[in-house]
Every structure is written in C-alpha cells, then in structure tokens.
A and B are shown apart, each in its own frame.
Chain A
Amino acid sequence: MSARVVIVGAGHAGISTALELREAGFTGPVVVLDQAGHDPYERPPLSKAWLAGAVSTGELAFRAREVYARRRIELRTGVRVDAIDRGSREVVTADGTRLPYDHLVLATGARPRALPVPGAGLAGVHRLHTLTDALALRAALDTARALAIVGGGFIGLEVAAAARKRGVPTTVVEAAPRLMRRVVSEPVSAFYHRLHEDAGCVVRTEAVVAELTGEDGHVTGVRLAGGATVPADMVVAGIGVTPETGLAGAAGLATGDGVLVDEALRTSDPAVFAVGDCARFPLGDAMERLESVQNAADQGRAVAAAVTGDARPYRDVPWFWTDQHGCKLQIAGIATGADEWAVVGSVQERRFTVLCWRRGALVAGESVNRPADHLALRRLIAAKASISPAAARADGFTLKDHARALAG
C-alpha cells in the first residue's frame, strides 16, 4: 500500500506540492483540501494586470480542472479543516469527516491584518487577499471619488498604480519614513516614490493612522496621528499579513509567527510539513517567513522531494517581484542588514540594478526593468559569488559576464 498525502490549502504552495509530488514520481493518493469555494487561482495579478483589466478572471486559474484529475490529484474545494488528530494521523473537516494521512502538508497561507484603529469596520474599507476581496475592490474603484491606501508596501502601491491609471485621486499613507522599507534599499524606495508622485499620487510617509472617520456607516476619511485628515470615500488597507497557524497550534505543533519547520520543512512532528506563507524556516543564520510565489512553489518542490525519499535542505534563493506604473522590480536575495550598495545602469532611463552587500558578501540585488540582471543575480547569489562593490562600480561591469564566468 502506498502512503497517502493530505495537503491543507490549495494556494500556490499546496498546489505546487501536489503537482511536484507527481513530477517526483509519487504514486500514492494525493488529496488537497481548501475552504475556498473556487478552483485554485493566481493571486499576483489581483493587484496588477487583473485589477487593471488586462487579464480576465478565467485566466487566473492555475490549471484547467481536468489537469488535477489527470494527475490523480483529488481536489476538494469548499472544505475547511478544523483539526489535526496527530495520534491517529487524521485531519478532521468542518462536517466531522476524518481523513487519514501518512504525510500531512500544511499550506494554509496567511490572512491580511485588519487595521487596528477605530472605524476599520466602516463600509468602503477594503482589503486585498482573495478573489472575493478583489472583485469587491475593483467594483468600488469604478465609483470611487477619493481613494486612501494605508500601507506603502507592494500591495498598497500596486493598487495605487492601478487606481491612478483609472484616474482616481489617490493618497498613500505609510507609517515608515520610506516606501517598501521592509523589502527594498533606499535608492529603490526613492525611485518608486517619485514614480508614484509623477503619476499624480499623493504619498505621505511617516504618517500614522489614528482613526477612520465615517458618516452613516460609510468611510469619509483617514485621520492621521498629527490631526490632519485625508478625505476618502474608499480606503484600502495593505498592512501585511498574519500566518494561519491555528490548526498547527491547536495540534500542539511548534509555532511562532508561523509554523516552525526545519531545513527540510518538517514541523516538530516529522509526519507534518509546512510550506508557503505559513511556514517559518531556517534561512542563513535566522528563521524567516517569506510571502512569495517563488517561495511557495519551491517549498512545494522540496516537500515533494522529501516525501519521495530525496530530502535535501531548502536553500533556494528567494525572489520577489512587483509591477508599478510599468516599472518592473525584481528582487533576488534578502537585503536585511545590508551595509553597502552600488547602482548599476541608469536610474534616469528607468533601467538599473541595486546590488546590496552585508559584511562584504553580496546578499541581494534589486533590478528595475533589467530582467536579465535579475536572472544573472539569482545564479550569482546561489553560487555565493564574490563581487566587490569596487568591481561593480567599475566601467564596463556587467552581471551577465559574471554569471557566464560562473557557468564557465
């Protein structure tokens, strides 16, 4: 009898795990459960091409339904898992059904943080995490007269770009001193700040929200800590997410801002893995939780390898992207703690890459409209290639040449 894999969550990580199990030659039953009622879909376009109307809702599906059947992946949507019985190795769904597993994969993702201020429950206040959220947000944009976005991270800024494209007056309110502070270097923050202002968006940094004001139950503005109010009949909160760790915690698995896993992505119970947005895993000398499609997909592949007896430490170079006002930013590596950077290319022509070093080691690179640089960087960072800041600043330096030399 072959082992049975049960996956909770049919997002990027869960579906990747299921498909990669088949790629890796796993022949046992694979069951994927998701509380959402629709077929698995892509989230990134919800704040980009789909929001701008360039991609239809039908095109968001990961795969045609038949593909799951053809790969013998049993996909059950509209099914919430309520508990894990680790003793008997079963999951318990909301209707009380018990489903046995040999390997369990938690791919439960994360949920958006709610604004922790009075007025957050008013009508006209949106978030953007699911297709349902996205449909409501897109419809509201059609009639919005003034939009305020709380949070100057990827999602908030992507929504700002789409809203400006439709001509909606837009203000971005960010508590930090600069945009996307958590994920990009200063030069890239500054570049995008200018880009948004050039597109007619008002950007307010170091602006802390005190309250959402309302009238007759509908939002009318965002009151800031200093007393000023940004008028708005529509508010989008993009202030980050909280990992879905409820199931794991209740089952006694180790958690802490994520389900804690080892470098093979196993939780404190070796029969249970966690992948994607919900997993906190060892990366370098720290524990990290990443929210990206790349991480979800690659972790799915790593778990498939582990289940089929080919466990290896998860060491893929993280990468992220965003698209705002037609300027594509691709980030390779993690710039946390970087102490030196160099700009390659031309900021003025909107094609450049910022390289980031930490204690002399190249740790990350942020490319704006330079996709080939980005691909070269992923290889260079994976190979721990040594490039000095001085070399990068020298005339005639190209990342491609370095990546080639590596492949050499």
Chain B
Amino acid sequence: MAEVTLINHSGTQTTLDVPPGTSIMRAAIANGVRGIYAECGGDTMCATCHVYVEPEFSELFPPVNEDEDEMLEATACDRLPTSRLSCRLTIPEGCGAVVVRLPESQR
C-alpha cells in the first residue's frame, strides 16, 4: 500500500491507501475525491484527471509519452513541468508515499 496524498487547490488534504497496480485517478474516483473528473475513465482522452506531482516523487512514474504530452497541452489549468495525467500514474510495487496537487479546475 502506498499513502497517496492529494492536496486540492484550497489546501485541503486527502490521504488514501492505494495498492500497487492502481492508478491515482482510479483511487481518487473510487474514494470520491473532488477535483478529479476522469470523464474518459482513464483512456488518456479527456485530460480531466490532471494533477501536479510534487517533484521528489516524479521518478516513481514512467516519463510522459506522446499521447500524454499532447493531452497535457489541452488541460483546463496551466501545464507545469510537474503536470501529469493521474490515469497514467500507476502506483509501483514498493512505493511508500506520493503527494500530488490538484489544479483549480479540470474543464
């Protein structure tokens, strides 16, 4: 289990226990975390699962691929160097904790 902390735009934190193999998007949706919509259900098609990964955790995940890169250009809030689509962020085996911030809006 990884401790995934999501910090929303106004600073409210939610911490979830997420098993390896689950995406941060899926965990957030299942637990009713506000601020992630995931309109396409995790298919890299909607960009409504945008998050900012705190820099010290960025190495946990594979780099941005071509599809994700294109989608990140189409997010509702600004793209930053830490921007990711949370449906692409699968918790790896042995991961202890991750902290991500949520953008102000998703669409």
Contacts and interface: CB of A to CB of B under 8 A. Distances in A.
Interface in B68-91: 70-71, 73-74
Contacts of A370: 70
Interface string A29-68: 0000000000000101100000000000001011110010
A299 to B, nearest CB: 14
Contacts of A44: 41
B43 A323 contact: yes
Contacts of A375: 46-47, 71, 74
The size bracket of the interface on A is: 20 to 34
Nearest to B72: A372
A112 interface: no
A44, A45, A59, A293 interface centre (most CB from chain B within 10 Å): A59
B71 A371 contact: yes
A70 B71 contact: no
A330 interface: yes
A129 interface: no
B31 A67 contact: yes
Contact of A42 (B32, B34, B41, B74): B41
Nearest to A44: B41
B64 interface: no
B45 interface: yes
Interface string A338-376: 000000000000000000000000000000011110111
B39 A372 contact: no
A350 to B, nearest CB: 12
A340 B67 CA distance: 29
Interface of B is mostly: loop
B31 A64 contact: yes
B44 to A, nearest CB: 7
22 contacts: A42-B41, A44-B41, A61-B30, A62-B29, A64-B30, A64-B31, A70-B32, A71-B32, A297-B39, A321-B43, A321-B45, A323-B43, A371-B45, A371-B71, A371-B74, A372-B71, A372-B74, A374-B45, A375-B46, A375-B47, A375-B74, A376-B74
A216 B53 CA distance: 60
Nearest to A59: B26
A102 to B, nearest CB: 25
A23 B26 CA distance: 20
A197 to B, nearest CB: 24
A400 B74 contact: yes
A80 interface: no
Contacts, number: 53
B45 A328 contact: yes
Contact of B40 (A62, A70, A321, A369): A321
B41 A371 contact: no
Interface of A: 19, 23, 42, 44-45, 59, 61-64, 67, 70-71, 293-294, 297, 321, 323, 328, 330, 369-372, 374-376, 400
Nearest to A61: B30
Contacts of B70: 370-372
Nearest to A298: B39
Contacts of A372: 70-71, 73-74
A328 B34 contact: no
Interface in B9-57: 26, 29-32, 34, 39-41, 43-47
A248 to B, nearest CB: 28
A282 to B, nearest CB: 24
B32 A328 contact: no
Contacts of B74: 371-372, 375-376, 400
B73 A64 contact: no
B47 A294 contact: no
A63 B39 contact: no
B67 A371 contact: yes
A173 B106 CA distance: 41
Contacts of A63: 29-32
Given A321-B40, A321-B43, A67 B71 contact: no
A70, A321, A372 interface centre (most CB from chain B within 10 Å): A372
A330 B41 contact: no
A140 B65 CA distance: 36
